[in-house]
Structure 1
Amino acid sequence: MRTTSTVIGAAALTLALAACGAPSEQASESAEGGGDVLRVGVSPVPHGDILAFIDENLAEEAGLELEIEEISDYNTPNAALVEGELDANYFQHRAFMNEWLENGPDAELTYVTDVHIERLGLYSESVESTGDLPEGAEIAVPNDPANLNRALSILEAEGLITVDPEAGENATENDITDNPNDLVVTPLEAAQLPRSIADVDAAVVNGNYAIEADLPEESNVLAWEPEGEDYVQNYANGLVALNENADDERVQLLAELLHDERVLEYVQETWRGVVLAVDADGVITE
């Protein structure tokens, strides 16, 4: 992990934020009193960029002191939170957090608030549409269970495969019941998927890794994941803290800033279509 930025601010939140929902007076007073730095672990993109925007534009006037730790994998942030190396993290959705809690150490984490959704997309360098995929085409997908199921849902929505409905959210490539074009579905570590594009016919890539690799600009987007009824509830990335720290004034202040209108606009303008901003009410903003 590396520290990417630190902002030291002592001023109370001004009227500039009032129209967007001012943070609590108590939190601002705590910051004025020289509260501790809030250490937040993030995936570099878009999470790190979003916090950097807050760091540079909102944190000081809100009286929030941030230390942003970039973490490039999905395994470290929760462990660092449990070990006390971080006060909060921002990289995961509820499905991933719940899966980690089931398989990880004895820990109690709280999902504080939704922030954004990184759409999974089916990308290819060799074909321009799903109809162009050849017989026996190889499609790489994320190998972590929470995102593997999402990837399969894209292929199913495009009519390429049928997945056993009994498998539910735990569906894997072994639950494919109909595969008329004999597609080869290959699970890989999510971070490796952009590099696999040249070696496979198509790949389902997480939004953050697609952005880092410039896939939306340099590859063909064959399909986006379908937005189901519980899309935000299941797949919005959000702010997470240990149960005992979830009500920490600094954590709650950051949660409010993450929903500031300027942050929502920044997300919309920076990652049009790939990252979807979610407001404080859990609604995707357009």
Structure 2
Amino acid sequence: MKRFAKALSALLVLSLVFALSACGSSSSGELSTKEVTVGVTAGPHQQVMEEVARLAKKDGLTIHLKVFNDYNQPNIALNDKDLDANSYQTMLFLKDQIKNKGYKITDAFATVAFPMGIYSKSIKKLSELKNGQKIAVPNDPANELRGLQLFEKAGVIKLKKGAGVTSTKRDVISNPKHLQIVELDAAQLPKQLDQVAAAAINTNFAMGAGLTVLKDSIFHEPLVHNPYPNYFVVRTANKNDKVIKQIQKYYHSADVKAYIKKTFGGSVVPAW
């Protein structure tokens, strides 16, 4: 009889534990409103999210940051549920990842933009480019198109109509000065700046080399309504979760906007 009573007691305890654990999670898989983990790339994305996390903490929401130095891993981690969200990528990159990797992830809200600039050590304006000189652009799919479009907007070259994310220098249909277009790894462009007449450089790599869009570039993308905003990204099933709306409120706050302006001086701008 005593054994039966002990067994019954143990069963009741296990039932209670199961009931309590079930109350702590949502059957729909909705993210917690108390604690989330967000992946970011090192640098400005990390810095801004740290400010967002500081504001959220005051209201009882803890945002843990996991920092990456790679552009592919944050989406793998998010898709595999090792993260609840990430904040580091443009729509061009996101769509390319979804198409080629089959990830079930989506954008939740716009965050910041990094206006790409054209830099040079030998000329002050692009009209000074001479016949046959070299210009450089990033060689990865999302950013090569962006660099080519920036040179196009400056009147240096012209791309074929409808040029998409896979565009390369082969899609240039007009090059009046017969410029040599060099495709280089985005991270190497600042180091190769003295080897070319001009280069389109991503802002994060420019900043790493001590260059700023407003002070050092000779041509740049618009600071307001930039065409390449970055996004806060979540698994598709969590896009409308309450905590995502909470994080958006903090990210789009006046406090964060002021922090971005003060910290980055135009090299990183709000995209909302």
Could you say which TM-score interval applies, normalised by the shorter chain?
0.7 to 0.9
Instruction: Note if 1:42 corresponds to 2:40.
Output: yes
Q: CA deviation at 1:247?
A: 2.9
Change (3 A) 1:85 1:150: same
Q: Does the residue aligned with 2:155 lie in a helix, a strand or coil?
A: coil
* Contact 1:153 1:226 (8 Å CA) reproduced: no
1:223-262 per-position Cα deviation (integer Å, ceiling 9, x unaligned):
012589xx55x51101001112223333332221110111
Secondary structure at 2:162 match in 1: helix
Q: Deviations over 1:26-60 (max 9, x none)?
A: xxxx65xxx33x2111122211110122234x122
Name the structure 1 match of 2:72: 75
2:83 is paired with a residue of what secondary structure? Answer: coil
Do 2:214 and 2:266's aligned partners in 1 also have CA atoms closer than 8 Å? Answer: no
For the residue of structure 1 that corresponds to 2:266, the secondary structure is coil
The AA in structure 2 aligned to 1:208 is: N
- Describe the superposition over 1:114-147 as per-residue Cα deviations: whole angstroms up to 9, x where unpaired: 0111101001122222123332222221222222
- State the Cα distance separating 1:102 from its structure 2 match: 1.2
- Do the aligned residues in 2 keep the contact of 1:88 with 1:239 (CA within 8 Å)? yes
Stretches of structure 1 that go unaligned for 5 or more consecutive residues are 1-29, 280-286
Kindly indicate whether the alpha-carbon contact (under 8 Å) linking 2:87 and 2:233 is maintained by their aligned counterparts in 1: yes
Identity of aligned residues (%): 33
CA RMSD, 1 decimal:
2.3
Higher-Rg member (1/2): 2
1:50 and 1:135 map into 2 onto residues whose CA distance is 43
Q: What's the counterpart of residue 147 of structure 1? A: 143
Q: CA offset at residue 218 of structure 1?
A: 11
Of 192-201 and 174-183, more deviation after overlay is shown by 192-201
SS at match of 2:163: helix
**What is the match of residue 207 of structure 1?**
203
Corresponding position of 1:274? 267
Of 66, 71, 78, the residue aligned with 2:63 is 66
The aligned residue for residue 11 of structure 1 is none
Matched with 2:108 is 112
Q: 2:161 — aligned with what?
A: 165
Report whether the alignment pairs 1:184 with 2:177: no
Aligned counterparts, 1:77-96, within 5 A: 77-96=74-93
Within 2, Cα distance between the matches of 1:173 and 1:270? 35
> Is the 2:97–2:103 contact (alpha carbons within 8 Å) kept by the matching residues of 1?
no
Residue of structure 2 in register with 1:25 after alignment: none
Q: How does 1:2-13 map to 2 (within 5 A)?
A: none
- Distance in 1 separating the partners of 2:126 and 2:252: 36
TM-score under structure 1 length normalisation: 0.77
> Does the CA contact (< 8 Å) of 2:115 and 2:213 recur in 1?
no
Indicate conservation of the 8 Å contact 1:154/1:225, yes or no: yes
* Matched AA of 1:46: P
Residue aligning to 1:121 = 117
Letter in 2 for 1:114: A
The corresponding residue for 2:49 is 51
Match of 2:249 in 1: 256
- Secondary structure, counterpart of 1:101 in structure 2: helix
What secondary structure sits across from 2:231 in the alignment?
strand
